[in-house]
Amino acid sequence: MDYYPEPIENLISEFAKLPSIGKRSAERLAISLVFEDDDKVNSFIEAIRLVKSTVKQCTICGNLTDGEICSVCSDRSRNGKLLCVVESVKDLIAIEKSGEFRGKYFVLGNLLSPIKNLELSDIVIDKLKNRVKDGVEEVILAISPTIEGEMTGIFIKEVLKEFDVVVTKIASGIPVGGNLEYFDGDTLFKALEDRREI
């Protein structure tokens, strides 16, 4: 049974389609817009329109850009010999926020996942090969250490075998500030295995 007028029910289901928005949040959001000034709602709508009409993926790396080439790819001060492979734009931004990495990126779009029936498309693999051919010396796999992530890493390593390139992956271990006792055996094992001299 519908408790709200139909346009509200409709907007609630539109909000609920967005990631991480549950039914309750969708209700709150839809109602809040009724009480919001027209101007504010219009600028919200305009912001959505502008993103849809101007923002695309960078044709080189897959990062988001409002031009053709993203700000990382067009930054000549960055080291093109270091190529960091990530699953998504969000992961790319997370690494950028750390402020430590000065190489370039390649966004896969998804990981290999037999369960979700996902593979890496030929287009993505060809693009990656072309990037690597173009003078890359090290490919860093900055992929979450899940089963899908590990599988994807092994697959990429295999795909790049024909090139003279070092393939590395980011370290697994205890997060900085993390409390050792709360982490699982696999993580502790990895942390011990990858120990470093101080």
- What is the contact mask toward a copy of itself in residues 86 to 115, using x (rule: CB under 8 A)? ---xx--x--xx------------------
CB of 193 to a copy of itself, least distance (A): 32
Closest CA to 100 of 152, 140, 55: 140
CA distances in angstroms from 95 to 40, 84, 92, 103, 104, listed in the order given = 33, 10, 5, 11, 11
Tell which one of 23, 59, 61, 64 touches a copy of itself (CB under 8 A). 64
For the CB of residue 153, give the shortest distance to a copy of itself in the complex, in Å: 23
Size of the site for a copy of itself (CB under 8 A): 50
Identity of the residue, 50 or 171, whose beta carbon is nearer to a copy of itself in the bound complex: 50
Q: Is 78 one of the binding residues for a copy of itself (CB under 8 A)?
A: no
Give yes or no for residue 152 binding a copy of itself (CB under 8 A).
no
User: Binding a copy of itself by CB under 8 A: which of 60, 62, 65, 136?
Assistant: 65
Using CB under 8 A as the binding rule, whether residue 135 contacts a copy of itself is answered as no
Q: Does 116 bind a copy of itself (CB under 8 A)?
A: no
Spell out the long-range contacts of 149-158 with Cβ–Cβ below 8 A and sequence spacing 24 or more.
149/87, 149/111, 151/111, 151/112, 151/113, 152/87, 152/108, 152/111, 152/112, 152/120, 155/112, 155/120, 156/85, 156/120, 156/128
- Confirm or reject binding of residue 123 to a copy of itself (CB under 8 A): no
User: Which part of the chain contacts a copy of itself (CB under 8 A), choosing from 15-23, 113-121, 152-160, 180-188?
Assistant: 15-23
174, two tokens? 């205890």
Classify residue 171 as exposed, middle or buried by CB count within 10 Å of its CB (0-12, 13-18, 19+): exposed
Q: Could you give the maximum distance between any two Cα atoms of the chain, in Å? A: 66
Which of these ranges, 52-60, 113-121, 144-152, 164-172, lies near a copy of itself under the rule CB under 8 A? 52-60
